[in-house]
Amino acid sequence: MIEYSPFWETLKKSNESTYTLINKHHISSSTLDKLRKNKPLTTTTINDLCRILNCNIEDIARYTSSSTDQKL
């Protein structure tokens, strides 16, 4: 499962907030909701977040195995 808890820690350490992400950088509130609920995001969105927060991808997301993962 891809989860986005690193994003929230990175956001806290940055000069940005959910307000600035929405109003200054035009990140939608639905994208922030997906981050809160660990729902899928596009790589374009992850790229945008990395650029805005000046961070690496591992500062946004991490993979953890889960028994609820889809079978391959």
**Residue 24 structural domain:** 2-63
What is the pTM for the complete model shown?
A: 0.88
Asked if residue 71 belongs to a domain, the reply is: no
Nearest to residue 3, comparing CAs of 71, 68, 72? 68
**What local confidence, expressed as pLDDT, does residue 18 receive?**
97
Asked if residue 69 belongs to a domain, the reply is: no
Domains contained in the chain, number = 1
Asked if residue 35 belongs to a domain, the reply is: yes
**What local confidence, expressed as pLDDT, does residue 69 receive?**
72
The distance in angstroms from the start CA to the end CA of the chain is: 13
Report the CATH number at residue 49. 1.10.260
Distance (Å, whole) CA 57 – CA 67: 24
Distant-in-sequence, close-in-space partners of 5: CB < 8 Å, separation ≥ 6 = 62
Asked if residue 72 belongs to a domain, the reply is: no
Q: By the 8 A CB rule, do 68 and 3 touch?
A: no
Q: Which helix (H) or strand (E) holds 62?
A: strand 62-63
**pLDDT tens digits for 26-68?**
999 999 999 999 999 999 999 999 999 999 999 999 998 877 7
